[in-house]
Amino acid sequence: SEWFLTAVDTTQWLQHVGKILSGAKYIAETIATGSNVLVHCSDGWDRTSQLTSLSMMLLDPYYRTFEGFLCVVEKEWMFCGHKFADRIGHDDAVSDSERSPIFLQFLDCVWQITSQYPEAFEFNEGLILDMAAASYSCRFG
C-alpha cells in the first residue's frame, strides 16, 4: 500500500543500504587494483564492520561459504567489538541514541547480494534470517 511505501521511504532504509553496498563495492574494486584501503567510521564498530565484511565477501569466495560467512561475522563484528547489546537495545538502560539496526542493515545488504547472485553463495536467505532472529532473541546475551 501507499502508506507502507511512504513509511519505508521516511526511514531512508533503502538509501542507507544502497550507500553501504556502494561503499563496499568501491573498497573491493580499489583493493582489486592492488591499492590499499583504510576503513574507519567515526567509532570503528558500526559502518566499519559493515563495509569491511561486505568487501571481504565481494573479494573472496571463501566468505561466501557457510563457514566463511560465520567467520567474517566473528572476525569483523564480534572480535572488533561491535556493541550488539547497545545497538539492539533490549535493555531499558540503553539510551535510544545508542540503538541502531547496524547488524540488521548488514544482513539486509548480504541478502541483496545473495538475491542477485545466488549461485555465488553456499548459503541462502535461511541463514540470513536465522542470524537476524538470533541477534534479536536475547539468547546470546
Say how far apart CA 36 and CA 57 lie, in whole Å.
17
- The catalytically annotated residue of 41, 71, 80, 109 is 41
What pTM, to 2 d.p., does this model score?
0.90
Residues marked as binding for substrate? 41-47
DSSP string, 37-49: -----SSSSSHHH
Q: Identify the top-confidence range among 12-16, 60-64, 78-82, 93-97.
A: 60-64
Higher pLDDT, 102 or 59: 59
The answer to whether 41 is a known catalytic residue is yes
Residues marked as binding? 41-47
Contacts of 31 (CB under 8 A, 6+ apart): 37, 55, 59
Average pLDDT, the chain: 91
